[in-house]
Amino acid sequence: MDLLVCRGLRKRFGSVRVLPPTDLTLAEGSVTALIGASGCGKSTLLRLIAGLLPPDGGEILLDGQACRAPGPSRLLVFQEESLFPWLSVADNVGFGLGGLPAMVRRRCVAAMLASVGLSGWENVLPGALSGGMRQRAALARALIMQPRLLLLDEPFAALDAITRERMQRLLVDVQARTRQTMLLVTHDVEEACLLADTVCLMAERRGIVSAQALALPRPRAVDAPAVVAARGSLHAALTASMGGGGEA
């Protein structure tokens, strides 16, 4: 069943066309990765879907209903975790649950913090956490709202390699438990191969130019032959989309 359908989405900033007419369909419960060179429109597409930017044309349908503004059904986790520095971890994670009774809210927050490995850190301010822990809290803040679609804009790019691997494993675990539909923007082809069911390649001013399905169970080993083959194929396609040059 299709959860999200985008048809003919396009966007300009002044005279610059940053996203040509672009189509994208996400199946419910799937993980889709967007890869492509810097400036090809990945983050713009994510912000259009989140409702943070108005499209210049096209339509966005979630569960068959038109989306024209931000809402709790589509939540975006940024590369920078964007926690409120003056609130505790628990208050950050439970920020969107203000309409619930305090006892219910505390139970929900405690369960979500346990699911991302942050039990015991409820009363700590974000500044006292490591980068990986702050990103776990940001992920928990989004997941606790039970969005229909979770959007992730290079959420692990600022982390060191070991922490990034741990966060990737956490995301796989969370998705296995919740069957959360996710759309992930990443520059890392290996990350896309480890996490996604489908990898979409975007090219500058051309939109999505190809999609590759990865019918592999998760978790996946980075050195598994199928993952190595997919990584090589996607890297070659990415390089070709950039005219054989630039940063892959």
Q: At what angle do helices 102-115 and 131-143 cross, to 10 degrees?
A: 130
> Which residues of the chain are under the pLDDT cut of 70?
81, 244-248
Q: What pLDDT does 247 receive?
A: 42
The model's pTM is 0.92
Q: What pLDDT does 245 receive?
A: 45
Q: What pLDDT does 158 receive?
A: 85
